[in-house]
């Protein structure tokens, strides 16, 4: 599967999250042969779970599908640059490759604020492909927050 096609799958998850009132971030995990092992979207509000970021939800589903927490050779595809927690989860699950769309200038941990995956002290070798369909991924987030700012009530954080 091409990276752009995989990001489109993650964008579909992000749009589902937005429709559910969640911050629209989506993710998918691809097996080495390109099959989708797991898909996820932000679920923090619905699950009352601070760990229910799209990437973690997708990694959990992929591990269940694979029958193993070790996702060697897999690719995580996300619409937004992962945060520190999600970058750590990626390392712990032994994902080989990360593809993401939009940069997260506030909490990104793969080059924007921190660079967890390419820190030599970590010792892991994760290939990073950034900026795939970046404008489209950023637009989904911008549209969501524009609507939220225009309506009363609390605005969810990145999650």
Phi, psi of 149, deg, nearest 5: -70, -30
137 is in an annotated binding site: no
By C-alpha distance, which of 137, 128, 109 is closest to 9? 137
Residue 86 assigned ligand-binding role: yes
- Annotated active-site residue in 2, 20, 55, 61: 55
Residue 48 annotated as binding site: no
Tokens of 91: 């390392």
In 3-state terms, what secondary structure has residue 27?
strand
Could you give the CA distance from residue 137 to residue 73 in angstroms, rounded to a whole number?
25
Query: How many Cβ atoms from other residues are within 10 Å of residue 55's Cβ?
Result: 32
Q: Is 55 known to be catalytic? A: yes
Would you please indicate which residues are annotated as catalytic (active-site) residues?
55
Q: Which residues are annotated as a binding site?
A: 53, 83, 86
Q: Which residues are annotated as a binding site for Zn(2+)?
A: 53, 83, 86
């Amino acid at each position: 599967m091409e990276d752009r096609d995989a990001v489109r799958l993650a964008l579909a998850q992000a749009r589902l999250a937005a429709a559910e009132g969640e911050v629209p971030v989506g993710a998918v995990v691809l097996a080495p042969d390109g099959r989708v092992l797991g898909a996820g979207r932000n679920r923090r509000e619905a699950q009352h779970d601070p760990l229910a970021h799209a990437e973690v939800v997708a990694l959990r589903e992929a591990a269940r599908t694979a029958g193993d927490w070790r996702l060697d050779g897999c690719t995580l595809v996300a619409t937004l640059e992962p945060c520190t927690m999600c970058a750590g989860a990626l390392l712990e699950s032994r994902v080989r490759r990360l593809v993401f769309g939009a940069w997260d200038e506030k909490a990104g941990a793969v080059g924007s604020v921190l660079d967890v995956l390419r820190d030599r002290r970590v010792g892991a070798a994760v290939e990073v492909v950034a900026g795939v369909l970046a404008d489209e991924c950023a637009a989904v987030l911008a549209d969501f927050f524009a609507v939220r700012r225009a309506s009363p009530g609390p605005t969810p954080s990145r999650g």
